[in-house]
Amino acid sequence: MSADSASSIAIVGGGPAGLMAAEVLSRAGCTVDLYDAMPSVGRKFLLAGVGGMNITHAEPFADFVTRYREAQPALQGSLERFGPEALRQWIHALGIETFVGSSGRVFPTDMKAAPLLRAWLKRLREAGVRIHTRHRWLGWDAQGALRIASPSGELRLHPTATVLALGGGSWARLGSDGAWVPQLEARGVAVAALQPTNCGFEVAGWSAHLRERFAGAPLKTVTLRLPGGTPRRGEFVLTASGIEGSLVYALSAPIREAINRSGKVRIELDLLPDRSAEQIARALARPRGSQSMAKHLHRQLRLDGVKAALLRELTDTATFADPQALAQAIKALPITLVRPRPLDEAISSAGGVRFAELDENLMLRQVPGVFCAGEMLDWEAPTGGYLLTACFASGRAAAEGLLRWLDAR
């Protein structure tokens, strides 16, 4: 698929989706100008690489696509054309090798995002992509021109077509501030409200003792379960306001939805998933003599520290006096969550441009010639490489859709 070199394309947003669209379009012969509001592109991408650049996931594709939940039908085609294996091959072509970790997560061999981004930007510039930083999109004027605030003043642009890859609403300081929402709504585009996902949650309030002694402490080798759900194993962190961490992030979408429905949700924490309630009750029923309950829990169950403190926080005196009741509490400790942490703290956001607003080319039905990609679309996914893979894939899909639209004109 190719385009006339006279086709001038504006891409707004310099994250993975926008950069991937720029690559596809420049290779097809388009003149590509990419605009980003920040002083440099890929800022959230670089932040995602802090501590290890998890680029995608190596699980079977049939399992991989289910991680996108309700958005799976809308994203599956894009992911089939540019999924985890294709993404790895693309990275290898940049001179960056990858490996699969023990959890199935895929990383660059040096675990860093910066070398990958540097190699990619070099290739884009060599392909003729012009990158304009500190250029913020302001919407359209009455004549349909793109309004761009630049260091030298406001620009009015009339590209042949436009790709919007503006990100979601989390981490505003890195450029994903959701400021595009009213601009699209003003053009009649339906946008699902941006909400936090892969985020922490708050409780009604911990005691001062728990906050001061244990905020920041990890709870390891535990399971969490939503009402009627399957227990999920992992670890999370106690915070001054509630809970956060990988296990909480994995359940953030259903937790958030339950809070949206009812104003709160009670989840259950199993502090000792490798022991049954009967085994725990028998251990607790052993004589403890003059030992305190804290020492008894440590001696019989190795239950101490933040786990013991949380157990004490969320149970009453009568429960502690009854081995059977205490065993049940250890296996199903109820934690009531009342709200997610603010959107700007979330790793990513749910919501965005509804897929019904887009045609098969990812072009806005209400604004012909404008295509959307990346996290600004209405989907969400857990951490583990799923977020980045869908951003890359949708950026590529929007560019390919734009080329088909050009060919059909």
**Listed range (46-50, 55-59, 169-173, 180-184) with the worst mean pLDDT:** 46-50
Tally of CB atoms within 10 A around 213:
13
What does each C-alpha distance from 44 to 79, 87, 348 come to in angstroms? 22, 19, 10
pLDDT range class, residue 1, cuts 50, 70, 90: very low
- Non-local CB neighbours of 205 within 8 Å, separated by 6+ positions: none
Percent of the chain predicted with pLDDT > 90: 91
Confidence (pTM)? 0.92
Mean pLDDT of 231-243: 97
Q: Which residue would you say has higher pLDDT here, 387 or 171?
A: 387
Contact 111, 43 (CB under 8 A): no
Residue 406 reports pLDDT greater than 50: yes
- Non-local CB neighbours of 335 within 8 Å, separated by 6+ positions: 203, 243, 266, 267, 268, 269, 314
Residue 183, classed as helix, strand or coil, is helix
Mean pLDDT of 180-203: 97
Can you give the pLDDT at residue 2? 46
pLDDT of 254-275, one tens digit each? 999 999 999 999 999 999 999 9
pLDDT averaged over every residue in the chain: 95
Residue 4 reports pLDDT greater than 80: no
Report the alpha-carbon distance of residue 257 to residue 263 in Å, rounded. 10
Can you give the pLDDT at residue 6? 62
pLDDT of 299-347, one tens digit each? 999 999 999 999 999 999 999 889 999 999 999 999 999 999 999 999 9
Selection from 339, 314, 64, 324 nearest residue 200 by Cα: 339
